[in-house]
Amino acid sequence: MGRKLLLTHIDVPGIQSYSVYKAQGGYRSVDKALKSMSPDDVVEEVKKSGLRGRGGAGFPTGMKWSFLAKPEGVPRYLVCNADESEPGTFKDRYLMTHIPHALIEGMIVSSYALGAHTSFIYVRGEMMPQIRILEKAIAEAKAAGYLGKNILGSGYDLELYVQPGGGAYICGEETALLESLEGKRGNPRIKPPFPAIAGLYGCPTVVNNVESIAATVPIINDGGEEYAKIGIERSTGTKLISAGGNLAKPGVYEIELGLPVEEFIYSDEYCGGIANGKKLKAVVAGGSSVPILPANLITKTIKGDARLMTYESLADGGFQSGTMMGSGGFIAFDEDQCIVRNTWNFTRFYRHESCGQCSPCREGTGWMEKVLYNIEHGRGTTNDIDLLWDIQRKIEGNTICPLGDAAAWPVAAAIRHFRDEFEWHINHGQEAQNRNYGLAHYADPLEVVTES
């Protein structure tokens, strides 16, 4: 059994409540940090742990914290990114729903480390149940003296707020999130300046993912070095993976980084193999924006090494034959799934969610979606694949924020690895049009959702 640090008590009845959470050893890290550690000590432990941001980019959390500017007389903020809108990723929601106090505890420890006295949890607006759960948890923590003025008599004050988000994927991008938190349209800001220098209301700010913040709790409890012993290389600790698609046992799993992908998919402890005894065709390993991997590259790298669930191993081979850990949204496709259809579906999402500030992303995502719609519906032409390839190249790297890249990569990887499927759609237009997805009871589900 893999060790668990975040979901240890997930099965304890009533763990959502403060009293049960506390009885299981909750809030120890706050006691320890506030009573026996300086804020810099906390930062140091997080650095030692090697924790990398769990929001997608994998940037070392301790290092990010040490970049925070500390001008005199200016407030600093910690903002928790609980927007979680990446298709395929649902691990933060799971954590917040079932163990909300793990996040609150992490927020207190992290805010203390950063010298923040006001912190925010920015939750995607649609997640009303989670917002209520967090609000209740905050009230409980406050009543127990873990929030508010002079926490545990340490002289440290912290107010923690939950802010419902704008309900747009782009509001998960950290600078768009800050704009949204300030009450503005959720458009990404142009960097620099980075939030560590000028973030919320122009003040130094750290934005961290839910899971990153929750991970600071075991790091403080057991020490950064202990944490770093789990995992391998530059991928330390445990990671929540939200597994979906055609897996026998989809769900949220806490894995030790370094677990072989094969074991994750096929062992009974995790996903239990592919549903209905089908064969695995492809995997999107880290949420919809990362490149898709074909069957031959899922469990082995191009060099023939076992592919592991680590930042390095998943990325091995670059975008030619590798992918990314991303936000840990693991989607498996069985042999019956259509890659073209999936690519169109993902692109439809990015088109809808582009904020529209930069021309290549605004127009390019829309263009790709329409071309893909045609191919998927048996109306593609022979030039369309090259055209798609060209459009995604024009978006990638030329935009303000990484949403442009996130829209381009899935298309590039699908064409790179599954060009024959695109060609099939183009050469067998009539058959492509007549495929039945088991959705026959809707008149024409595709027409309803498409806007082109």
Binding site for ligand FMN (CB under 6 A): 53-57, 59, 61, 64, 81, 83-86, 169-170, 172-174, 207-209, 212, 401-403, 406
Q: What is the largest CA-CA distance in the chain?
A: 73
Report if residue 354 touches ligand SF4, rule: CB under 6 A: yes
- For ligand FMN, the closer of residues 56 and 380 by Cβ is 56
CB of 219 closer than 8 Å to CB of 45: yes
Pick what 207 binds: another protein, ligand FMN, ligand SF4, none; C-beta below 5 to 8 Å, kind-dependent.
Answer: ligand FMN
Quote the CA–CA distance of 320 and 297 in Å, as a whole number. Answer: 11
| Sheet strand arrangement including 77-82 | 159-164, 118-123, 77-82, 205-209
Pick what 366 binds: another protein, ligand SF4, ligand FMN, none; C-beta below 5 to 8 Å, kind-dependent.
Answer: another protein
Report if residue 408 touches ligand SF4, rule: CB under 6 A: no
Pick what 351 binds: ligand FMN, ligand SF4, another protein, none; C-beta below 5 to 8 Å, kind-dependent.
Answer: another protein
Smallest gap from Cβ 184 to another protein, in A, equals 10
Report if residue 160 touches ligand SF4, rule: CB under 6 A: no
Smallest gap from Cβ 114 to ligand FMN, in A, equals 13
Q: What angle do CA 254, 132, 215 make, to 5 degrees?
A: 30
* One of 136, 352, 379, 416 touching another protein (CB under 8 A): 352
Please name the residues in contact with 450: beta carbons below 8 A apart, sequence gap of 6 or more.
348, 373
Quote the CA–CA distance of 127 and 371 in Å, as a whole number. Answer: 33
Please name the residues in contact with 62: beta carbons below 8 A apart, sequence gap of 6 or more.
43, 44, 46, 47, 48, 49, 51
Report if residue 364 touches ligand SF4, rule: CB under 6 A: no
Please name the residues in contact with 425: beta carbons below 8 A apart, sequence gap of 6 or more.
340, 375, 376, 378, 380, 432
Smallest gap from Cβ 347 to another protein, in A, equals 12
- For ligand FMN, the closer of residues 83 and 179 by Cβ is 83
- For ligand SF4, the closer of residues 169 and 422 by Cβ is 169
DSSP per-residue letters across 131-186: HHHHHHHHHHHHHTTSSBSSGGGSS--BEEEEEE--S-GGGGSHHHHHHHHTTS--
Please name the residues in contact with 37: beta carbons below 8 A apart, sequence gap of 6 or more.
45, 220
Piece of 59-67, 149-157, 247-255, 397-405 that binds another protein (CB under 8 A): 397-405
User: Nearest residue by C-beta to ligand SF4?
Assistant: 361
Q: How is residue 132 written in tokens?
A: 């209520």
- For ligand FMN, the closer of residues 151 and 284 by Cβ is 284
Phi and psi torsions of 367, nearest 5°: -65, -50
Quote the CA–CA distance of 266 and 247 in Å, as a whole number. Answer: 9
**Contact characters 175-214, another protein, x per CB under 8 A:** ----------x----x------------------------
Report if residue 324 touches another protein, rule: CB under 8 A: no
Query: Distance from CA of residue 194 to its chain's centroid?
Result: 20
**Contact characters 361-390, another protein, x per CB under 8 A:** xxxxxxx--x----------------x---
Please name the residues in contact with 87: beta carbons below 8 A apart, sequence gap of 6 or more.
287, 288, 329, 346, 349
- For ligand FMN, the closer of residues 374 and 399 by Cβ is 399
At 363, which amino acid appears? E
Smallest gap from Cβ 69 to another protein, in A, equals 18
Phi and psi torsions of 269, nearest 5°: -65, -30
Report if residue 56 touches ligand SF4, rule: CB under 6 A: no
Pick what 370 binds: ligand SF4, ligand FMN, another protein, none; C-beta below 5 to 8 Å, kind-dependent.
Answer: another protein
Strand partners, 308: 260
Quote the CA–CA distance of 128 and 124 in Å, as a whole number. Answer: 8
Piece of 4-12, 231-239, 307-315, 350-358 that binds ligand SF4 (CB under 6 A): 350-358
Smallest gap from Cβ 377 to ligand FMN, in A, equals 27
Interface with another protein (CB under 8 A):
168, 170, 185, 190, 351-367, 370, 387, 394, 397-400, 451-452
Interface with ligand SF4 (CB under 6 A):
170, 188, 354-358, 361-362, 399-401, 403-404
